[in-house]
Structure 1
């Protein structure tokens, strides 16, 4: 007789279907012996969270607590972005609003403009992800992950989103825009952040389920 799988439910504090799919893949990869039931905020009526934090961790906590307060459920908030060393860590927490429009293409064009003429060895950058999981009124787990790379001088690849076509992963030897989903997941900052919190998260979820 097979062992029954553990089962947990989480609401992702996003309405981005791509992010929901990515986290579903990551949970399956990192914890195949557990059934993770993931929903996003589609279908919930709540105002947008005010991302006023100065760090990715601040914003992840804001998103998780905001979603938990309005849904009454356990929610995962995630904030991530690009840090370019030559730009002093910019765009950082403003990664999604780097250009006036906030459009991926416009953000990438502005990044290419700011990095024009910068030599390859000075184009170092990283994607950083912070994750926080909260129930109403309390953050129960949080962590961060990074992936190191360099900013290319032109678009390479059509996969992914955000700055992926310009982000050359040192580990993969290609941009994240050229990488398959499986390749990207193997090195991603979201994977590493989730990996960092998973044991503590499961322990806390078990405690809450038992009423501890």
Structure 2
């Protein structure tokens, strides 16, 4: 069984990823599980740059195939902010409810049709032999008027998914994986990985 490191300390992400890659003969472990404490400085100007930088640097330390994702929330009315700065929006230590409040204030009195937003996910894979892969996907929605739901993490409670009539954080893990940006990008990456691992 191939061990793949996923460059994250977020246990929620590892759970999501293992569920999607469950039928492959791989075990996905976090940086913590692999004993890696290195912090990659995410100073790229795009999701792809950040994802690839993380994958390559962690692969060089762990010497195993490494996956990394850079994802974020783009709010059209806010010129696509917070975008690549989603995790650091208002400072890394700021609790999400405070961030939600700031976003609601910026969108106060903004009608539904102008509250369009999307979650973006870019997944990069770095192999010790120099091979590199990238997949990318999005999920469209609108910024809601309140935070709802107990599932998911990050900005899920304020992201309303019109096709489901629910907030992202109200979806079950299975429902979320079926439509989420990371779920879709991961399934694309899974197909690429299968081909590469067969070589």
Q: Normalising TM by the smaller chain, what interval?
A: over 0.9
Structure-1 residue corresponding to 2:104: 112
Pick from 44, 50, 54 the counterpart of residue 59 of structure 1: 50
Pick from 44, 57, 67 the counterpart of residue 76 of structure 1: 67
> Residues of 1 paired with 2:165 and 2:26: CA distance?
32
Is 2:79 aligned against 1:88? yes
Greater RCO (Cα-Cα under 8 Å, separation 6 or more): 2
Is 2:25 aligned against 1:35? yes
Contact 2:21 / 2:190 at 8 angstroms: preserved in 1? no
> Residues of 1 paired with 2:72 and 2:95: CA distance?
14
Q: Deviations over 1:47-69 (max 9, x none)?
A: 20010111111111011001101
Contact 1:156 / 1:178 at 8 angstroms: preserved in 2? yes
Structure-2 residue corresponding to 1:201: 193
**Deviation, structure 1 residue 139:** 4.7
Structure-2 residue corresponding to 1:210: none
Structure-1 residue corresponding to 2:174: 182
Q: Deviations over 1:148-187 (max 9, x none)?
A: 0000011111211111110011221100111111111110
> Secondary structure of the equivalent of 1:138?
coil
Contact 1:155 / 1:166 at 8 angstroms: preserved in 2? yes
Ranges in structure 1 where 5+ consecutive residues have no aligned partner: 1-6, 208-212
Q: How many residues were matched structurally? A: 197
Identify the range of structure 1 (169-178 vs 42-51) with the bigger mean alpha-carbon deviation: 42-51
Is 2:16 aligned against 1:22? yes
> Residues of 1 paired with 2:50 and 2:69: CA distance?
8
Structure-2 residue corresponding to 1:159: 151
Structure of greater Rg: 1
Computed over aligned residues only, the root mean square deviation of the Cα atoms, in angstroms, reads 1.5
Structure-2 residue corresponding to 1:12: 6
TM-score, with length taken from structure 1: 0.87
TM-score, with length taken from structure 2: 0.93
The ranges of structure 1 where at least 4 consecutive aligned residues each deviate by more than 4 angstroms after the TM superposition are none
> Secondary structure of the equivalent of 1:147?
strand
